[in-house]
């Protein structure tokens, strides 16, 4: 993740290893339904490169899952976008920030359906749990006990998770992902 933008971006497997080198444990997820492909789900997340190699040999099309909470030191705001259901988490967040002020700058990933994951550093002094649309329509929280998929994961229909400009693919050595030195 600390590399400059490259003509040949890393494979999903290479990116999985990059995350572990940034001290973020990962696990494989099913590209069809985002469910973990391991017996204990996100609790199997690891930084062990040998285990990650075995997983990606077994599941070469797996997406990269990362647990949220104290294990990874991360939590996320998941902004859903579903025009058919008239759900627009970005619009809801815009309304909330207009009322309450902006969020701190952080890295954001675009999800395959056009939503966003805003990723923040975990604060051990604050209890952050999972919720779905509790903050507002289309805004989910992935905290302790939750997980998200990370770029450059690709789902079964070919949709990809991508870092927004300024994300890790453009990072210089010494920059961080929500407090993780990369």
Phi/psi class of residue 52: alpha, beta or left (left: φ > 0; alpha: ψ in -120 to 50)? alpha
Distance (Å, whole) CA 143 – CA 151: 19
CA atoms of 111 and 11, how far apart (whole Å) = 17
Question: What's the CA gap between 106 and 118, in Å, rounded?
Answer: 7
The one-digit pLDDT tens for each residue of the chain (182 residues) are: 444 444 677 899 999 999 999 899 999 999 999 999 999 999 999 999 999 999 999 999 999 999 999 999 999 999 999 999 999 999 999 999 999 999 888 889 999 999 999 999 899 999 999 999 999 999 999 999 999 999 999 999 999 999 987 665 444 334 455 555 55
pTM confidence score: 0.88
CA dihedral 19, 22, 26, 29 (to 10 degrees): -20
> At residue 65, what are phi and psi to the nearest 5 degrees?
-100, 145
């Amino acid at each position: 993740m600390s590399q400059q933008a490259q003509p040949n971006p890393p494979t999903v497997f290479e990116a999985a290893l990059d995350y572990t080198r940034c001290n973020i444990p990962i696990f494989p997820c099913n590209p069809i339904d985002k469910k973990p492909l391991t017996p204990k789900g996100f609790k199997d997340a690891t930084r062990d490169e040998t285990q990650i190699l075995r997983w990606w040999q077994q599941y070469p099309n797996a997406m990269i899952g990362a647990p949220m909470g104290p294990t990874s030191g991360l939590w996320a705001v998941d902004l859903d976008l579903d025009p058919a259901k008239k759900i627009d988490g970005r619009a809801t967040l815009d309304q909330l920030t207009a009322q309450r002020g902006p969020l701190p700058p952080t890295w954001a990933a675009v999800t395959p359906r056009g939503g966003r994951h805003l990723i923040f550093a975990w604060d051990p002094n604050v209890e952050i749990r999972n919720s779905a649309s509790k903050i507002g329509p289309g805004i989910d929280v992935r905290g302790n006990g939750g997980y998200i998929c990370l770029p450059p994961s690709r789902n079964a229909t070919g949709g990809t998770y991508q870092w927004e400009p300024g994300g890790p693919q453009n990072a210089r050595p010494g920059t961080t992902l929500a407090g993780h030195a990369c």
